[in-house]
Every structure is written in structure tokens, then in C-alpha cells.
Structure 1
Amino acid sequence: MSTTTELTETTLLRFATAGSVDDGKSTLVGRLLHDSKSILTDQLEAVERASASRGAEGPDLALLTDGLRAEREQGITIDVAYRYFATPKRRFILADTPGHVQYTRNMVTGASTAELTVILIDARNGVVEQTRRHAALAALLRVPHVVLAVNKMDLVDYAEPVFAAIAEEFTAYALELGVPEVTAIPISALAGDNVVEPSANMDWYGGPTVLEHLETVPVTHDLSHCHARLPVQYVIRPQTAEHPDYRGYAGQIAAGSFHVGEQITVLPSGRSTKIAGIDLLGEPVDVAWTTQSVTILLEDDIDISRGDLLVPSKDAPPTTQDIEATVCHVADAPLTVGHRVLLKHGTRTVKAIVKDIPSRLTLDDLSLHPHPGQLVANDIGRVKIRTAEPLPVDSYSDSRRTGSFILIDPNDGTTLTAGMVGESFASPEPVKDESDDDGWDF
């Protein structure tokens, strides 16, 4: 049986871009790819042909991420565009998210797994409502690092006071939201100033370029302090002559690490046993950790199926049927009190009811509108949910994977809402429920 090496700092950074329409997100991403020499020759030739057909004098680098035909025709980003590139110092997965207010829901998708978010601001416009919306989402999604890229500095004559005023206003707002860290960088994505190479036009700025910051920002997964969690995705029983009694529980480790011989508990049943073995890529290992897809073998034959959660017995979360969370509503149809939904948490999906919507956040001044009765597309609000079955949920602040969920329309499978358990702005006092007889069985 092999022994794994010590867990070390990752060489992969997941980051997302966000900002208002025409702030230059796609151009920034295109400039990063182009100037870091991460574009294949045929890709650049295709962009040059597309740019020429639109009458552009040179290659429009935004077309490297605006991949949909509708996006190119409208000149805006609609869907989340994922790109993969690498430098000698680090590998990157980036998500270029839409800037239009009606696609804020897509920003949630792109930033939900990000370790860093780049929020762009047009230096001519400063902080606008959509900037505040994206900052609030970054705070709610617990993105550890935020970069403020003040773009189009060439259009304000590279003036330091313009940059300083925007950086001060945004940083104050972000800190009020609880964003732990903001790094402000003045750039011109179109001209390439401070994107990959330092700008000769802003000698007053002595900080890193965007790429330099992306390459050096600390992204450390200290797994020794994580709550170990493995949502069971599949039960493996090959029943071959070589392994007639093989029964393994497969899934991707959501957090922490698991060791052979460790006492674990299966939730929500609460039954306990020990890990008899761990298979990784067909080979036995002594320990496995976050993001690895493994098969766990147990000492005892326990009834386990898809949707169950394996956790260390000494670190088992409580199970509950009452969940309070902050959500971003992503569907066109509103979410209302009394709404019947399906709640998907990890690999488990259960029936649920929206019992209350205590508040909706007003992004202009971070005030709370009490008991709005419903949430519409792109609203951020507080909800209380009752599930038909108990769920083992963590606080989102402890685990972005097992502390999150989505609400689904049971009629057509549409994703309604993305939720973060326990995340909250200050909520108003709840209205007392005068009647608990709502006709539901749970």
C-alpha cells in the first residue's frame, strides 16, 4: 500500500472576472492570454479574421472569450466563458462572467469556485450599482481575494487622482461587506498597461501587474483545519471472480482528508464504522484529500447509497430540517413564501418548502427590505427553508462545498436559487408565524 506525500501549496488558481457592461472584462482576459503567450496560432488567426470582418484595424482580443455567436453579434458577454492557461509560475482556470445586470446569476456560477475575483471598473464611470452588486456577491461567496482593476486609464490621461478616488471608494464599500482583502491596480486592457507588463505611462504606480499578482497571491489549502466531507456519488459492486465481495463508495472529497483506519460516520443515518481501504485511480492509498475522486471501502456492511455523506466521527456536523441561508435568486420566475422546491445539497436532493423570506438586500446602501414576500431574478435575500428529510449541512463560512445548496423547480428542473448556509447580513426581526398548519407533511 502506497503512502502519499505531504500536502503542499497548490499550483492552480481559479479566478473570475466581473464588472459592468463595456468595462473591458473580455478584453482584459484576451490581453492576459495574448501577452502571456497562451494563445495558439490558429486561435489568433481566427480572432484576426473575425476582427477584420467587423472592420477593426487590429485583433479584438475580447473575441478570445466571447465565444457564442450571439455574444459576438451584440458585442457583450452572455454566458460564462472558461479559459485555461499557464505560466512558468502557476496554472490558471479563469471564468469571464457577464456584466449586464440580467446575467448577474451567471456571475454567481463563475465565482462560486473562484479563489480570486477581478472586478473591473471603467475609470470614466467609477463605482456603479453593478460594481456594488459584484462586490456583494464576492463577499457572500467568500472569495478570499478581490482585485480591483481600474480599467481604461488611457481615457483619463492615466491620472493618479482618478484611480486613487475610485480605489478608496470601492475598498471602503468592500470592507463594509466583509471582503477580507482588496488589491487595486490601474490598467488599460486595450493598450496592455499593467496587465502583463508594467506601464510606462503610470510611473506613479509601484504595485504589481495583474498577472504578477495572479502568479504570487497565496492560495493555500490548509487541509489540516478542514472538516473532512465525502458526498457519496455511486456505490461500486463489480462482483467479479477476483473481487467477489467488493463494495466501495465512490465520490469526490469535498473537503479535508480521509485516512485508512479512521472512524467515520455515515449521515444522515448516524451509523459508524472504520475505513478499511481507499482506492485512488485503481491503486490503494493510505490517505486522500480534497478534490480527489476516490472509492472508500469500509470494515462493516452498512446501508449506504447516493446522497449519503461520509464524515469523521469526531467531526460530524449536526443534521437539521430547518435551514436559514442567504441566497441569490437566479430564475426568471420569482421565489415566494410557501414555494414547493427541491433542495440539492452535495449529491442528495430532497423536497423542501420556503417557510419565510425575512429580508432582501438593497445594494445601494446595504439596507434590508424586511419581509418582501418574494425574490425576483438577481435579488439577494435571506430565506428560511424546511426540508422533508434531515440534512447534514455545514456553515458556508466553514466549507463552500458542503455549506452551499441550490433550489430546483420540481416541475421542470429549473435552477431557482443558489444558497449559502448561515451567511447573513444583519437581518430584521422575524415576523411571528401565527399558524403552523400549512398543510405540509414535514
Structure 2
Amino acid sequence: MQKKPVRQGGVEITQTQTVQVKPTPAPVIKPQPAPKPSYSSFSDWKSDFSMRAISSGYDAGVIRRLLDSAYLNQQVISLDSGQPEFSKMPWEYVDSAVSSGRVSVGKRKFAEQRAFLSQLESQYGVDAEVIAAIWGMESSYGAVTGSSDLPSSLASLAYDGRRQEFAEAQLLSLATLLQRGDVSWSQLDGSWAGGMGQTQFIPETWLKQGVDGDGNGHRNPWATGDALASTANYLSNSGWVRGLAPFYEATVPASFDYSLMGSKQPAARWAAMGVDTIDDVYLDANTQMELWLPAGKDGPVLLLSPNFDVIKVYNNSSSYALGVSLLGKTIDGQSGLRKSWPRYERPLSTTQVTNLQRRLTSMGYDTKGADGIVGTNTRTAFQRWQADNGQTPDGFITQNSASSLAGW
């Protein structure tokens, strides 16, 4: 309470007034992440992990057997932390995806599995050729499923990898698969990163998405029927839209506003801006599409559908999704890209990318770090620089387009 003087009829009197005093807010204390345990050796980590897993309810015999033969694989750790010397151009990835060998084998395998793949397409809504293409990309249609010892690879990554908690979760999921009999102890070879079977699921995802495609009562990622059905199930559960291709090749008008690249707009709005599909494909007016120029203004122009993003649940790379999409079209007898790639362009080295990122940031075009990797932030910053310096702002970073900025 406080006394406040007021005047009534020319006479000052004192009036009692209630004043609300707001309490000083308590300081917000953000919880600090728990420090990662430090182990003096791989053996110490194995002991601690076994104890934690068993105390959490995992079968002691399975956990001990899983780790008894696991060894520290330094090659796996090196692969996990490695970085390429040069970034790849998009056509290099696509060339590999639709190599003559992969396509010829793919057409034969697609024909062999056509009835089953058509059944999966009917059941899950996922295009048969896309399922087959992922099969081809991930394991060369079951011929190459990996030769790394999965327990050792995952244990090495859990001990000394970039994502230790993730790797531990994969080990626990693998233990569950072994315990319930979906995976046999004699069948534990896969990729160095933990991919299993014919479509290279990691253990945790297989636990959630794996289905019994061949009807034998088990869900085995090395079995063709289970692998293909599980791929269809995974894509379907990830939001696949029935009847929609992953991308549609298009053209843009000369007056196109390149700042719209990468944005998602309804198909009708792209059409109103003069972005036309090459094959005059009908698209629902409200379907959200993204415009992507993987090789800049001189390469193909693609309208990406939501299904393009769904493919990326397998590998969060636009080049991967494009490779899968084109391989699927090719093995199904469809035509590939009409517009040719600007193969005269050359990529930057990792060191050059790092220098470019630092230079852009110093000029006010923030790349959000200098890690030597051309990602979305770097392309966006470069696109802004292009717009301010007389270049077509297509965000395509090459030796030619970046030379005046970087000076090499």
C-alpha cells in the first residue's frame, strides 16, 4: 500500500491506493546437457553398455553374445568422420545411378518381380519402379548388401563416432531383432554405417517399418519379399502421395525471378509464373511443388513433388532422390531428363568452399559457418551475392561462377 496525494475541491488530501508490485521474474536456467561418459578403452565402453542395456530389460545373453565378438573398427570411425576432397557435381551422382550395368540388371529384376511390385503398388500406393530403384541403389538388387560386421561397426560408432547415442540405439534394436528371430546370428554383415539387407534399413527403422512380405512369419531385411514390402511400407508411412511422380521436368521464362528457387508453391501458381512442365502434365492446382535447378540456369529445371522429399527419408540428399527417381523411370522404360547437364562446369575443393564461406560471411552474406560443405545456407548466401553482383542468382557454385568472388 502507498499514500497518494490528490486534490478535492482545492484541498489536498491523502488517499490510500493499492499498487500491484510485479515480482522480479526468476532467471531462466537452461538445463545443461549431461556430459558424455568418458571411457578409457573400447572394452570399458562395452562393459558399461552391456550393464545399461541389461538393466533396461534387454536379454543378458543376447547382449553379451552381440558384444563378445565386437571389435573396434578404426576404418569405420575414419569413414564416419571423413570428408571428400571435392564436392560432386549432380550429374556425377546421376551417372552412377543410371549406369548401363545398373539399368540392364534393373530391367531384368523389375520384370522378374513385376507381379509382386505391382501388388505392393496397389497396397501401399508407392510406384513399383521407385521401390525397384531403391532396391537397385541400396544393394544392386540384393547382390551387394555389405561386408562389414554389424555389431563391430555399430559398437565402434557408439564408442567413438559422431552420433554415439544414435549408434547405441541401433545396437539395442539389433539385439531385439536377434531376440525375436527376425535376424539370424549368421547373418550380421551390412554396411559400415549399420544398413542391413537388400534395401539397407538401419535396425531401429526396420523395427518400426519392417513387414513380413513373403508371409513366412518373420521380418528379415535380407529376404527379397520382406525388403521390398518394407520399403513400400516405409515410404507410404512417410507420406507418399499415390499417383504423383517425384519430379516433373519444366522450363522457366526468361524473366523468371530466381529468388523463388527452393520455395514451395501450389502448382497453379508456378504455372501462372510461366513455369511449364515439358510433357504438359496435369497437376492438381493445389499440389505444393518446389522448383529446383540442380545445375543452375544452364541445366535441367525440375518441379519437385512431395514424393521427392519422401524418398529422402532413405538418404537426406537431393542427388540421391534424383538418382532414385531417374533410375526408376529408366528401368520402367520411361525417358530421362530432356535438358542436358552443363558438364563443362567444375566443382570447388573443400578448401575452396571453406574460403568461399568465410569470404561471403565477411561481406555480409552469412553462410552460418565455414565447414567446406556446400549446403543450403551456403547456396542461399551465394545466391544473394549473385543477385547483388550482376549474375543470374541460381545459387550454382562452380569454379566459373565463384571465380570473381574468391579470386582463384
TM-score by length of 2: 0.26
Q: Which has the higher strand share?
A: 1
Greater relative contact order (Cα 8 A, min sep 6): structure 1 or 2? 2
Q: Which has the higher helix share?
A: 2
Larger Cα-atom Rg: 2
